[in-house]
Amino acid sequence: MSFDTAEKPNWCSGCGNFSILTAIKKALQELELKPHNVVLTSGIGCSSKIPHWVKTYGFNGLHGRPVPLAEGVKLANHELKVLAFGGDGDGYAEGTNHFVHFCRRNMNVTYVVHDNQIYGLTKGQASPTSDEDFVTKTSPWGVIEKPVNPLALAIVSGATFVARGFAGDPEQLKELMKKAIKHEGSALLDVLQPCVTFNTKNTYDWYRQRVYYLSKPAETRPEAVKKALEWGKRIPLGVFYQSKEETYESKLAQLKTPLVKQKLKTCVKKLVEELK
């Protein structure tokens, strides 16, 4: 089953988003999912064009809001595979509150963040994950804030699957996506995604000199957090933490039957007449 579309991406040549797009299409295909059973949601940014270029259902929403969109879809129809896509600015700045509560709810949704450590669509401002001292248009003397650590934040907030991939290794990225999609619960996959136009520091070569793969997930959250805090000369990739816990939607007594299958008991005819 092909997930290709007639439309072609218009990202900058060499952008890490191309690898992420290829990886997600291959992952869906190898998991033998059907396009009509998959929904992709997104916010605003270069990464958020993903739903336009994967042959599934999609919803391109507001900045920082791909997660609540995905959660709404999942609550309405539990049988759908729902994936949210966004960038580091979209998810770790505008959408921070949604991100934290997504992790603690443990809803069966996969969240893929294209983490290029910069605002790409708005032409190169510092993002929440930009390194300290990184010079950008909004930080001409260098970033003075400490960067957000999305993996550590996800782990302590309760996410039951936390992983990091690298756009420069699309085959391993595909495998991580398959694991994230198959996981029953809140799954974060943070992807180190070079922005070839506006981020001249965190390049493919910069990452390749530092990244390595974990042999297995940590057994406890504290151990996973310790590994997630590792950044600099060595940057770990792979699954940092995974646990099996009851999902949010399975705990909702009123939603044992998905909304999409419930009979509509409210008559809206009277309301429609009043609004005429």
Q: Nearest to residue 192, comparing CAs of 242, 145, 138, 131?
A: 131
User: What proportions of the chain, in percent to the nearest 5, are helix, strand and coil?
Assistant: 35, 20, 45
| pTM of the full structure | 0.92
* Residue 197: partners with Cβ closer than 8 Å, 6 or more residues away: 12, 15, 120, 124
The residues pairing with 211 across neighbouring beta strands, listed in sequence order, are 235
Q: Domains of the chain by range and CATH?
A: 17-275 (3.40.50.970)
Q: Nearest to residue 177, comparing CAs of 159, 193, 165, 168?
A: 165
**pLDDT tens-digit profile, the chain (276 residues):** 789 898 899 999 999 999 999 999 999 999 999 999 999 999 999 889 999 999 999 999 888 899 999 999 999 898 899 999 999 999 999 899 999 999 999 999 999 999 999 998 888 898 999 999 999 888 899 999 999 999 999 999 999 999 999 999 999 999 999 999 999 999 999 999 999 999 999 999 999 999 999 999 999 999 999 999 999 999 999 999 999 999 998 888 666 667 777 776 777 778 788 887
Amino acid at the residue 16: G
**End-to-end CA separation in angstroms for the chain:** 46
What is the per-residue pLDDT across 122-173, written as a single tens digit (0 to 9) for each? 888 989 999 999 998 888 999 999 999 999 999 999 999 999 999 999 999 9
Residues 17, 46: Cα–Cα separation, whole Å: 8
HSE-CB for 258 with a 13 A CA cutoff: 12
User: In this structure, what are the phi and psi dihedrals at residue 142, rounded to the nearest 5 degrees?
Assistant: 100, 145
What SS3 class is residue 36? helix
Sheet with 57-60, side-by-side order of all strands: 57-60, 38-42, 81-87, 110-115, 187-192, 161-166, 235-242, 211-213
Query: What size, in residues, is the chain?
Result: 276
Q: Which two tokens stand for residue 83?
A: 């994936």
Residues 25, 275: Cα–Cα separation, whole Å: 45
Q: Are 193 and 46 in contact (CB under 8 A)?
A: no
